[in-house]
Chain A
Amino acid sequence: MNKVKIYSRFERFWHWSQMVLILLLMITGFEIHSTFEAFGFETAVRLHSVAGWGFLILTIFAIFWMLVTGQSKQFVPVRNNVKQQAMYYLVGIFKKAPHPVKKTVDSKLNPLQRIIYFGLIILVFPVQLITGFAYLFFHYPDNPFTLEGLEAVAVLHTLGAFLLVAFVMAHLYLITTGHTVTSNLQAMITGYEELETEHETEISKN
Chain B
Amino acid sequence: MKNQFSKSVMALLVSLLLPLAVLLITLKVAAYKGTPEVVNVKLKSEYISSVDHSQFEILQQEFEHPRDVTAACLSCHTGRDEEVMATAHWKWEREEEIPGRGVVSVGKKNLLNNFCTGANGNNGSCMRCHIGLGWKDKSFDFADNLNIDCLVCHDQTDTYFKQKGQGGMPATPETANAAYQVPDYQYVSQNVGLPKKNNCGICHFYGGGGNNVKHGDLEEALLSCSKDVDVHMAADGPDMACIDCHTTERHNIQGKLYSVSSANHNRIDCDQCHTTTPHNDAILDNHFEKVACQTCHIPEYAKANATKLYWDWSSAGLTDDHGNGYSEDDADGNHNYLSIKGNFVWDDHVKPEYYWFNGTADHYLAEDTVTTIPVKINTLFGEYRDSTAKIWPVKVHRGKQIYDTGNKTLISLKLWAAQKGEGAFWKDFDWEEAARLGMEYNDRPYTGNYDFVESEVYWPINHMVSPKEQTLTCVECHQRDGRLAGLNDFYLPGRDYNKSVDYAGFGLIFLTLIGIVAHFLGRIVAFFKNR
Contact = CB atoms under 8 A, between A and B. Distances in A.
A2 B150 CA distance: 101
B52 interface: no
Interface stretch (B189-197, B269-277, B317-325, B495-503): B495-503
A85 B415 CA distance: 89
Best-buried of B23, B387, B473, B495 by chain A (most CB within 10 Å): B23
B18 to A, nearest CB: 5
Interface string A121-157: 0000000000000000001111000000111001100
A78 interface: no
Interface stretch (A9-17, A63-71, A102-110, A195-203): A9-17
Given A45-B283, A49-B30, A166-B512, A155 B498 contact: yes
A93 B523 CA distance: 7
Given A45-B474, A46-B283, A173-B516, A51 B26 contact: yes
Secondary structure type dominating chain B contacts: helix
A57 B421 CA distance: 84
B475 interface: yes
B206 interface: no
A73 B416 CA distance: 90
Contacts of B10: 9, 191
B520 interface: yes
Contact of B11 (A45, A155, A189): A189
A24 interface: yes
B29 A40 contact: no
Contacts of A149: 384, 490-491
A54 B475 contact: no
Given A42-B473, A43-B30, A141-B387, A94 B522 contact: yes
A169 B509 contact: yes
Interface residues of A, number: 55
B15 A33 contact: no
A13 B496 CA distance: 36
Interface in A1-46: 9-10, 12-13, 16-17, 19-21, 24, 32-34, 40-43, 45-46
A76 interface: no
Contacts of A169: 509, 512-513, 516
Contacts of A192: 7
B501 A155 contact: yes
Contacts of A151: 490-491, 496, 498
A33 B491 contact: no
Interface in B4-40: 7-8, 10-11, 13-16, 18-20, 22-23, 25-27, 29-31
Nearest to B526: A94
A18 to B, nearest CB: 8
B497 A13 contact: no
Best-buried of B7, B14, B515 by chain A (most CB within 10 Å): B14
A117 to B, nearest CB: 17
B479 interface: yes
B505 interface: yes
A41 B18 contact: no
A62 interface: no
B23 A24 contact: yes
B196 to A, nearest CB: 40
B473 A41 contact: yes
Nearest to B494: A34
Contacts of A16: 14-16, 18-19
Contacts of B475: 40-42
A41 B478 contact: yes
Contacts of A32: 478, 493-494
Nearest to B386: A141
B26 A47 contact: yes
Contacts, number: 151
Interface residues of B, number: 58
B228 to A, nearest CB: 22
A136 to B, nearest CB: 9
Interface string B269-290: 0000000000000010010011
A114 to B, nearest CB: 20
B523 A50 contact: no
B512 A190 contact: no
A24 B26 contact: yes
B530 interface: yes
A158 B508 contact: no
A163 interface: yes
A21 B506 CA distance: 21
B385 interface: yes
A43 B478 CA distance: 13
B519 interface: yes
Contact of B530 (A17, A95, A163): A95
Nearest to A24: B26
A43 B31 CA distance: 8
A159 interface: yes
Contact of A96 (B478, B498, B526): B526
Given A13-B18, A149-B384, A188-B15, A140 B289 contact: yes
Contacts of B289: 140, 142
Given A17-B22, A20-B23, A41-B475, A191 B491 contact: no
B504 interface: yes
Contact of A33 (B25, B490, B497): B497
B491 A154 contact: yes
A34 B474 CA distance: 12
Contacts of B385: 141
B482 to A, nearest CB: 9
Given A47-B27, A50-B30, A54-B26, A34 B15 contact: no
A159 B520 CA distance: 27
A165 interface: yes
Nearest to A148: B385
Contacts of A139: 286
Nearest to A186: B11
B18 A173 contact: no
Given A34-B479, A150-B493, A166-B509, A50 B501 contact: no
B480 interface: yes
A47 B286 contact: no
Given A41-B494, A166-B508, A190-B15, 6 more contacts: A16-B19, A20-B23, A94-B525, A162-B501, A162-B506, A192-B7
8 contacts: A21-B22, A32-B493, A95-B530, A140-B290, A141-B387, A159-B501, A169-B509, A190-B7
> 5 closest A-B pairs (Cβ-Cβ)?
A162-B505, A16-B19, A151-B491, A94-B526, A50-B30
